[in-house]
Structure 1
Amino acid sequence: MTRTGASPSPWWTKSLHADRRPFLIGRNRVQAALRSFFATAAFIEVDTAALQISPGNEAHLHAFATQALSIDGRAASLYLHTSPEFAAKKLLAAGEERIFTFAHVYRNRERGPLHHPEFTMLEWYRVGETYETLMADCADMLKLAAETTGTRSFTYRGMDCDPFAEPERVTLAEAFERFAGIDLLSSIAENGENDRERLAAELQRVGLRVSDDDSWADLFSKVLVDRIEPHLGRGQATILCEYPVSEAALARPSRQDPRVAERFELYACGVELANAFGELTDAGEQRRRFEIEMAEKARIYGETYPIDEDFLAALAVMPEASGAALGFDRLAMLATGATRVDQVMWAPVAETGW
């Protein structure tokens, strides 16, 4: 947290800490309430290692890299995880059925009012339960966070959201049609392959700029960010669901429509709070998707991350499950009335001019 001016005061000065302290106490209360919520539902809290062979294999996630040195100086590459997901799924393969974790995670190239290079991810998994159950969990958590801090409404950047109202459920196809006038599914084949030219024509028809080097995924993201996300979570929370299969690398395809996957995101006041999947358990298909993601990362950023073979081996024996990841700092921010995530972090990462 900084102030404008040539010499911003550090977060640990008494005056700034006094300003932030009500938010921090509110954060602690929300975290304690959520721990009680999971305990009541017979979940086990787990603690996963931050150092991993692979930080994750999504094209647009950026990790912090380091080296592990042996006593004789031999080096092996490791990464700080961008999510505890790989480790949590290994625990499901080991026999755990209901787990949750408050994990510190690390993402490079991210800093702003809603982003921080180190933040707290709340992840939870339910074996043998559908991702609709996670939608109910998310609704309950919004209510619990608001009750705990004594707020009746979340407010952020001029938008209000009633955390006690039932979230509206909207599919990506419905959102593209409602907010952008675009037929999304017309550009996706039954086998999940995307038609870049078809989607580009849809964007041009509604007046959105298309560049020659835009991929289908680039066009999808452009519509989502520019035309859809600003409308989500107004008045009530929004559950945006049924993402195209190509935009849900770790989720299983929908049983109703193979063009889309069992993935949803939770929004309040235009802020993305959670990302959830009906988990993919086909190790061969997961490998194929990771390879596609890493090829895209190489194309855009000129780098790739290794695939965790141990994770794929665990995935092959993991039972059917659903899992969700919630940005806990963002939820604490909305529940306490803070305006930046670093206001609800006890000790934010120092800014170094980046």
Structure 2
Amino acid sequence: MVEASPWWAPHVHADRRPRLMARNRIAAAIREWFAARDFIEVGTAALQVSPGNETHLSAFATQAVGPDGSRQPLYLHTSPEFACKKLLAAGETRIFSFGPVYRNRERGPLHHPEFTMIEWYLAGETYDRLMEDCAAMLALAAERAGAARFAFRGREADPFAAPERLTVAEAFQRHAGIDLLATVSPDGATDRDGLHAQLVAAGLRTAPDDGWTDLFSRVMVERVEPELGQGRATVLCEYPIGEAALARPSPADARVAERFELYCCGVELANAFGELTDPVEQRARFAADMDEKERIYGERYPIDEDFLKALAIMPQASGIALGFDRLVMLATGAHRIDDVIWTPVAGADS
């Protein structure tokens, strides 16, 4: 078996370089876009006391060693979200962060342990405004890459077309024949057995120890996500309240939250929230997610107490995280995320 040439081999780099140059053009255009709208670019520390408290996010752990030899546990951030929200509490109103984040257990065509995230936050704005921003980002990336269409694994989409807006409940009904909200109560409680029965009727596999969240994820992965963002991008919104750890409840329906995800060519590009600002509720959600994480992975992360204190004085705001590398992939027709990263992490080509 012939060993593949490394990314730094001159002939490999020559093949990769056009996409990397397109990456730079897209990055420059996005920064210009934010500057034209009076956003401030902020730098956030990668080392944090907590990497976040979502069940399925895995972090890289390290230690800070003091002059006296004392050791403090720290983590590489999985997102700049906590730091950005502290800046909102401090008085900033229009900010964006553009830089690397780190997630463990994530390697593959669409996943890399270190990748670039764009996050932006608007005080006093609803999350509907962020949907408009997403449409602008898609068109901007296409223009700078010279792409008329986005494509990935046989799926195509027009980056200049207005995205479709679809609720999660509508998507479950359309693509799986499942009445999702019939299994969610106004207080957020879920009916595991009711959802399980619907999955069985829809011909989806289940396991005896599947919880409601496991069943929800299976429908999303197997039936819903592959159908999203075909022909044009999809804004998938109104997630069940239990699937939106940092989003506020919808004023129209307490069973769902102000959360949306942006999909294009079946690829998830962005995750947005109308931000939750109740520290008591946020603590309860973090604790529940960490209990679930411990059940599944045998570990839990600390809660950033400073974040909860900041949340108590943070203004109403909306925020979004967009995977920049994936956006570049679609704009340049790349098959793997490694193809649009200047210096991929060793061993990340599995």
TM-score by length of 2: 0.99
Any stretches of 5+ residues in structure 1 without a counterpart?
Answer: none
* Residue 39 of structure 1, aligned match among 16, 35, 38: 35
Structure 2 counterparts to residues 84-103 of structure 1, below 5 A? 84-103=80-99
Please point out which of 317, 336, 345 is paired with 2:332. Answer: 336
Residue of 182, 185, 209 corresponding to 2:181: 185
* 2-structure distance, mates of 1:264, 1:237: 13
- Matches for 1:61-72 after TM superposition, within 5 Å: 61-72=57-68
Shift of 1:124: 0.2
Q: 1:126-165 CA deviation, whole Å, 9 max, x = no partner?
A: 0000000000000011011111111110011000000000
Secondary structure of 1:193's partner?
coil
Verify: 1:110 aligned to 2:106, yes or no.
yes
Matched positions, count: 350
* Cα deviation 1:80-107 (Å, max 9, x = unaligned): 0000000000000000000001121000
Contact 2:113 2:348 in 1 (8 A): no
2:338/2:349 contact within 8 Å kept: no
Q: Deviations over 1:191-233 (max 9, x none)?
A: 1111101111111111112211000000000000000011000
- 1:235 matches 2:218: no
Cα distance in 2 for partners of 1:107, 1:83 equals 9
Q: 1:7 aligns with which of 3, 6, 20?
A: 3
Q: Indicate the SS of the match to 2:160.
A: coil
Aligned pairs (5 A) from 1:1-354: 5-351=1-347
Q: CA deviation at 1:7?
A: 2.0
Distance 2:243 2:34 in 1: 29
Q: In the TM superposition, what is the alpha-carbon distance from 1:8 to its structure 2 partner?
A: 2.1
SS in 2 for 1:99: strand
Query: In structure 1, the residue corresponding to 2:319 is in which secondary structure?
Result: strand
Amino acid in the other structure paired with 2:29: A
1: CA distance between counterparts of 2:274 and 2:2?
A: 49
Matching residue's letter, 1:291:
A
2-side partners of 1:130 and 1:255: how far apart? 12
Q: What secondary structure is seen at the aligned counterpart in 2 of 1:86?
A: helix
Same amino acid, percent of matched pairs:
67
After superposition, the C-alpha distances for 1:252-301 in whole angstroms (9 at most, x for unaligned) are 00000000000000000000000000000000000000000000000000
- Three-state SS of the structure 2 residue aligned to 1:170 is strand
CA distance in 1, matches of 2:53, 2:287: 8
Question: In 2, Cα distance between the equivalents of 1:112 and 1:352?
Answer: 7
| Structural RMSD (CA) | 1.0
| Distance in 2 separating the partners of 1:158 and 1:209 | 26
> Which stretch shifts more, 334-343 or 288-297?
334-343
8 A contact 2:108–2:349 mirrored in 1: no
SS at 1:230's partner residue?
A: helix
The residue matched to 2:280 in structure 1 has which SS? Answer: helix
The one-letter code matched in structure 2 to 1:265 is E
Looking at structure 2, the residues matched to 353 and 78 of structure 1 have their Cα atoms a distance apart, in angstroms, of 27
**CA separation in 1, counterparts of 2:68 and 2:119?**
37
Rounded Cα–Cα distance in structure 2 between residues aligned with 1:341 and 1:204? 35
- For 1:245, the aligned partner's letter is I
Q: Give the partner amino acid of 1:243.
A: Y
Alpha-carbon separation, structure 1, partners of 2:188 and 2:2: 52
Q: How far apart, CA to CA, are the structure 1 residues paired with 2:19 and 2:203?
A: 42
State the alpha-carbon separation in 2 of the partners of residues 81 and 151 from structure 1.
33
Q: Please list the CA deviations of residues 12-67 of structure 1 after superposition, one character each: whole Å capped at 9, or x if unmatched.
A: 11011100000000000000000011001110000100000000000100000000
Task: Report the Cα offset of residue 352 of structure 1.
Answer: 7.4
Is 2:101–2:115's contact at 8 Å kept on the other side of the alignment? yes
SS at match of 1:26: helix
Q: Give the C-alpha shift of residue 341 in structure 1.
A: 1.0
SS in 1 for 2:161: coil
How far is the alpha carbon of 1:353 from its aligned partner? 9.1
Residue 337 of structure 1 aligns to which amino acid in structure 2?
A: G
